[in-house]
Amino acid sequence: MQDSSPTPAAPIDFDDLYQDARVHIPNLAWNYAAKGWFRRGETSVLFGPSNCGKSALVCHLGNCIVTGAPFFGARVRQGVVVHVGAEAPESVLDRMQAFSLNDGPEALPYIVRMRPVTLSAPDEVGKFVTELERLRHNLGQPIILIVFDTLARSIGTADENCAGAMTGIADTAGHIARQLDAHVMLVHHTGKDAKQGGRGSSALRGAVDTEISLWPTTGTVVRVAHEKQRTMRKGEARFFETQSFVLGQDEDGDDRTTVMAVDGSKPPENENADNRGAASKYDTAVLTALHIRRLRGARGSDPFKPRDILESVPPELFGPMSDENRMTTIRRVLTRLSEQKCPVVERFGQDWRLSTEAAPA
């Protein structure tokens, strides 16, 4: 009688194209630039309104990396920083004087490129990568962070409102990150409605690994929040303050100053601009949906997703806003409500649930 059992298939050899999860061994090393914030070989967008301290925070991060100092208490990998000063390179050089990099032997080079790199021009990008490979070889040190400041001045004639164009820009940034084993950060502005995130196409947000937002609160205090982390857990919001630093005296004997960022603390609840913004139409709508959910009793205590809240809010509230931006708005409102002194909601794994500490008004 003929054996009808299946014949074992020959081993498949596709190099790295297909891999069997049964024999996979996880890589437990984060290969971070700043642990819990930015990984090498990955990309990020750091966005915020004009004059909120974006460049000051980037310089603070860069100083932490070249000196090995913690960034908001997080470990960093010490190495070289390359800051493409596409908008104001002299201003970047001025800001770095606040950190007294020459006072000790421990600081590694903080390199400012004085001309932009057009991320939509392949030949220019290829030349830039070659420059950095040569720089890395000559310095004998790894390049940990590469900053494009700002994104708008680094895309040439590409349309920032075009999804395809911005996905291409993010892909190019990712290529640079992998080639140099560095983290590539794109510094970006918000649009007319800051609550919708970075200006232009939302495809950029979907294509990068990490998204960090900056929001002014009270006085000189700025809130730093993880809006997206593809491969790491989102951390809690942190705060920094902008301070004036005297570079010296000008030709008239007046102080010439720049701005630097220093770690700060969360402002008092009644002074926090984010909480003052709780009266916005989005916050009011979310609070109403949460209140109705709480009134449902046992069902109201079940975990929920931001999508559940979005579906409870009148769609006309958002006007022509895209579905992705609507979801982003809901997530940001939930995050703000979770960070209040008496939180309305709290995270529950990947979901949310109503907090037992407070009920929405």
Averaged pLDDT for residues 284-307: 80
- Asked if residue 260 lies in contact with residue 99, where contact means CB atoms within 8 angstroms, the answer is yes
Q: 287 vs 93, which has greater pLDDT? A: 93
Q: Which helix (H) or strand (E) holds 352?
A: strand 351-354
- Say if residue 103 is exposed, middle or buried (CB neighbours under 10 Å; 0-12, 13-18, 19+): exposed
**304-321 pLDDT per residue, tens:** 888 999 998 888 887 777
Q: Residue range 148-166: average pLDDT? A: 95
User: For residue 295, what are its two tokens?
Assistant: 């009134």
Task: Give me the mean pLDDT over the 17-40 stretch.
Answer: 94
Of 1-5, 21-25, 34-38, 128-132, the poorest mean pLDDT is in 1-5
Residue 89's pLDDT is 96
Asked if pLDDT for residue 48 goes beyond 70, the answer is: yes
Task: Examine the pLDDT at 271 and tell me if it is beyond 50.
Answer: no
**Rounded to a whole number, what is the distance in angstroms from the first to the last CA of the chain?**
78
Q: How confident is the model at residue 169 (pLDDT cuts 50, 70, 90)?
A: very high
Measured distance CA(197)–CA(328) in Å, rounded: 8
Q: Which of residues 132 and 16 earns the better pLDDT score?
A: 132
Residue 351 contacts residue 330 (beta carbons within 8 Å): no
8 Å CB contact between 95 and 259: yes
pLDDT at 224 exceeding the cut of 90: yes
Q: Give 187's strand partners.
A: 46, 149
179-194 in b/e burial notation, b at 16+ Cβ within 10 A? bbebbbbbbbbbbeeb
Kind of pairing between the strands at 351-354 and 38-39: unpaired
